[in-house]
Structure formats: structure tokens, C-alpha cells
Chains A and B, each alone.
Chain A
Amino acid sequence: MSKLSQKHLLGIKDITREDIELIFETADNFKDVINRPIKKVPSLRDVTIANVFFENSTRTRLSFELAQKRLSADVINFSASNSSVKKGETLLDTVNNILAMKVDMIVMRHASVGAPHYLSRHIQANIVNAGDGTHEHPTQALLDAFSIREKLGTVSGKKIAIIGDILHSRVALSNIFALQKLGAKIMVCGPPTLLPKFIGQLGVEVEYDVRKALLWCDVANVLRIQLERQQIKYFPSLREYSLYYGITRKMLDSLKKQIVIMHPGPINRGVELSSDAADSPHSIILDQVENGVAIRMAVLYLLAGSK
């Protein structure tokens, strides 16, 4: 099969292992394309894509836009902060107005969980979820798993620790689904207040001591503390968090084994990850960013290619 099982990419939960492998295979080819003298292919030249962002983003949006341009798609950008959303327009009205201008695909980020799922029941265009609240961020999980596969050769059987603010992280949930589908073992680690109560039911191990998590894992995916989503205090201070959960170069060197450090960005240097750890040879943070473009090209290509 060279077709995805779904018409939209709403979450990793809805897609199969075969889908993920097809996306990776296609992304391998696109990674080759973006390293050529001419980094562009004409595949999506008759496709128009709208990037609809109801929430702030730098990396994801740039990455999507670049992926679309490398595929020769026409791109329009929309951000809620300077739009009619402020005047009281509903989500469905906003999107239908965009689609009336003959747009074929929507890439959407929204602060509400399930917003792209709701949209997919009401519109014809293909939808790619670029993050919905604290729920899923499928392309981030795909590029994370793709980067692990690139660095370690395979994802299957590897031990991956997801460390930090699991409670508010859509990256964590999508990562757990994606990595489990590919056969990895997962551990989540963070202060008890930042781990969801029943997370163990997803079949992941739970650990509160960051050093034990690092000793266990092959790969540590370190997440940012999402202060903007925290209405109450979950820990006494950032200083204290960094003291107990911050990862430093010294700590990595003391493990007596090589582990891979990942971070979906943006990094709060000195909080979850110290500068010397983020810039160490352990880190594949910038590879993740490069792979992000290839993965998003693959997703857009495969979704646009099916009738």
C-alpha cells in the first residue's frame, strides 16, 4: 500500500503502524530532496494549503510553511490574533470562509482539544492537526520517532523516557502513541503534580526520579514546562524544578553510557535542560528540526495524493 488509511492526520491514535512506516519511507526521500542544490519538487503545484493557527507557534508553522513551499504548494497563512475571530466569528465559519476561496488542505493549531476532529466532521478538505490544546501534536511525534530511527537505526525495542510537564503536553501523548506503535518501551518522568493520574493505563512506566529515568533509557525526550497552560502552581518555583528535574551535562557524563537527548522546543535553557546539555554531542535537537520539514512534506504529499 502506498496510501494512508486516513483522509486527515488528526492524531497518532487514529493511524496504524503501516501508516507511520509509509510516512517514514516517504520522508527519507524528501530528506534527500531538501539536501539537493534545488530543494524543491513540483508535486503539489495545484494544491492550496491554509495554515490556520489559533495559537502561537514559530517552529511548527515555519516548518509546515517550508514543507509546503518545497512541495510547490500555494500557501496562505492565518493567525487568530489579527483576524475576525476577535470579532466573534465561529471556528466553522472562519474555516468555511477560507475553504470558499478554493483551499484544498487545512493545517490547524487550536487551543481547544478536539478542534480539528470537530472540523473534520463538517468540511471536505484534508486536515492536518498541528496541535490541539493538551491533546495531540502528531507531526511532532512522527518527527521525534523518525529522528530516533535515524540516530539508533530502529525504534523497536528502544527505551524512551519522556521527562517534564507530561500533564500539559500534547507532544507527550502523541509520542507515547507513536513510539508504542513502533514497538518502543516508554517511561514518563516528572514531579507527581505534572504527571496525569492514570497515565500508567497507557502501558507506560512512571518514575519520579530523573536520574533513575536517565539510567533506564536510551533516549530522553525532555519537555518544556508549559507555564502558559498552568493556572495553578504545580511546583514551588522554576529554580526548585530545575534543581530536581533539570538535566545537566555533568549528570549525563556521570551515567557512564551514551543516551540521546531530544527536545521539541522551545527550550527554556537552565530550567529543564542546561545549556551545556542542550549543546552537547548527546543532543539531536537540531536534527529534529531538519527532520520536521521532511516529515511534514511526507504527510502533506501522502494526504494530497489520495483522491
Chain B
Amino acid sequence: MQKKLILDSDLLDLTVSRLCQQLIENHNDFSNTVILGMQPRGIFLAEIIHQKLKKDTGTDIPLGYLDTTFYRDDFRRRETPIRANETRVSFIIEGKKVVLVDDVLFTGRSIRAAMDAMIAFGRPATVELLVLIDRRRNRELPISADYVGKEVNTLASQRVLVELEAQGHKGNKIWLINKD
């Protein structure tokens, strides 16, 4: 198994800062914005961005977790059902500018499910997508991200592994792995 480092701690800090700056540019005072982290792994990045924006702008943007398990299109098409995670949306989505946050954008199917899941809470004014890693040329649906940490050319057979301190890893590292 070959591992290649594509982002380390320092670079990740820079990337997250840039993503936050882009959000500030587009959302001004964040008065009508909410952040939704996608379960299970997008919530850690969402937390990091939420904290950073709080530090930089002083606004506490509502942060929620969105689980897409029950909205996936591969139910009954895999050996075992996926284990569901907690959805925690304690605010109104109706009329809000939603920023969906996930770690890796791959086929786009999770994002499709996420949009379905989100609409169960109301009709947002706009929806934007922020991802840390965009795996280009692997999309199966017409979906693209508005804020991208890093674009990576990958093969469908490769895997992107995100290790964040918040998930209990030593240091922030993002790897590209060749599956044998």
C-alpha cells in the first residue's frame, strides 16, 4: 500500500484560513448564514471553520450536523446498511444561506443525498458547498464545490484519507492512498 501526503498541518492551516477568507468575502456579516457539517467526517472540518470564523469575525454562526444515511441512493444495493449518525440541526433552515461542509468531494452522491436531507428542514435561500479535497474527474453527478481546499487528480481506485487532530489523530494529515 502506497501513501502520499497531499496536505500537512501547516498547509492545512493556510488552506482553512483561505477558505474562511473566501467565506467572509461572500457572506459579509454572516447574519443569515448557517453551516452544516456532513456526517460522519465533514463535521470536524465544519467545527474548525466555525471556530476560525468566530475568532476572526466575532460572529457565532449556527452550526449543525447533517446525516445523509436515510437519503442515500445505494440502500439495498450494498451488503450491509450504513450505520446512521446523529443529525443535529437546532435552527431554522428556511430562508437561510447554507454552507454545506464535507472533507472530500468524490462522486457527488453524498452531496445529492445531503441536499435531500437538508430540504426536510425547510427551503434554504441558497446552498453552497465547501470541501477540503476535491477529487476531480471522478464525479458521477453534475455537482461541483463553491469553495475548494485543494484539487487532486485521482483514480477511482485510489482513496483519500483525512486525519485530523479533532478525530484523535496525531497532527493534521491528508493522504492519497493506492489500494493494491
A residues adjacent to B (C-beta < 8 A): 1-3, 22, 25-26, 28-29, 32-33, 36-38, 40-44, 46-47, 71, 301-302, 304-307
Q: Could you give 15 example pairs across A and B, Cβ below 8 Å? A: A2-B81, A26-B83, A29-B69, A29-B86, A29-B87, A32-B87, A33-B120, A37-B121, A37-B122, A38-B121, A40-B120, A43-B75, A46-B76, A47-B76, A304-B76
Kindly list chain A residues whose C-beta atoms are within 8 Å of the C-beta of B83.
2, 22, 25-26
B80 touches which of A33, A41, A47, A305 (Cβ 8 Å): A305
Q: How large is the interface on B (under 10, 10 to 19, 20 to 34, 35 or more residues)?
A: 20 to 34
Chain A residues positioned under 8 Å from B85 (CB to CB): 29
Residues on B with C-beta less than 8 A from A37 are 120-122
Give the distance in Å from the alpha carbon of A120 to the alpha carbon of B86 in the complex: 34
Contacting residue for A25 out of B82, B84, B120, CB 8 A: B84
Query: Which of A3, A26, A305 is in CB contact (< 8 Å) with B75?
Result: A305
Q: Least Cβ distance of B67 to chain A in Å?
A: 7
The answer to whether A2 and B70 touch across the interface, beta carbons within 8 angstroms, is no
Q: Which listed residue (B70, B81, B84, B121) contacts A42, Cβ 8 A? A: B70
**In the bound complex, CA of A43 to CA of B117 (Å):** 11
| Also in contact, A307 and B84, with CB within 8 A (given A36-B121, A37-B120) | no
Interface presence of B116 (CB below 8 A): yes
Chain B residues near A38 (CB-CB < 8 A): 119-121
- B81 A305 Cβ-Cβ under 8 A: yes
Distance A305 CA – B70 CA, assembled complex (angstroms): 11
- B73 vs chain A, min Cβ distance (A): 9
Interface of B (DSSP majority class): loop
Given A29-B67, A42-B71, A2 contacting B82 (CB threshold 8 A) = yes
Out of A28, A32, A36, A306, name the residue touching B81 (CB < 8 Å). A306
Q: Which 6 A-B pairs have the closest CB atoms?
A: A305-B81, A41-B70, A2-B83, A3-B80, A38-B120, A29-B84
Residue of A nearest to B92 (CB): A37
- Given known pairs A41-B70, A43-B70, A304-B76, the reply for A36 and B120 (CB within 8 Å) is yes
Report the bound CA distance from A307 to B79 in whole Å: 6
- A29: nearest residue on chain B (CB-CB)? B84
Residues from chain B with a CB closer than 8 A to the CB of A3 are: 79-81
Q: Which residue of B lies closest to A40 (CB)?
A: B120
Contacts of B84 in A (CB 8 A): 25-26, 29
Candidate in B70, B72, B76, B85 with the most chain A CB atoms within 10 angstroms: B70
CB nearest neighbor in A for B88: A32
Chain B residues with CB under 8 A of A302: 81
Is there an interface contact between B76 and A307, defined as CB atoms closer than 8 Å?
A: yes
**Closest CB of chain A to B33's CB: distance in Å?**
20
Complex: A43 Cα to B84 Cα, angstroms: 12
Q: How far is the CA of A36 from the CA of B119 in the complex (A)?
A: 11
A34 CB to closest chain B CB (Å) equals 11
The closest CB in chain B to the CB of A41 belongs to B70
- Complex Cα gap A36–B85 (Å): 16
Q: How far is the CA of A43 from the CA of B82 in the complex (A)?
A: 12
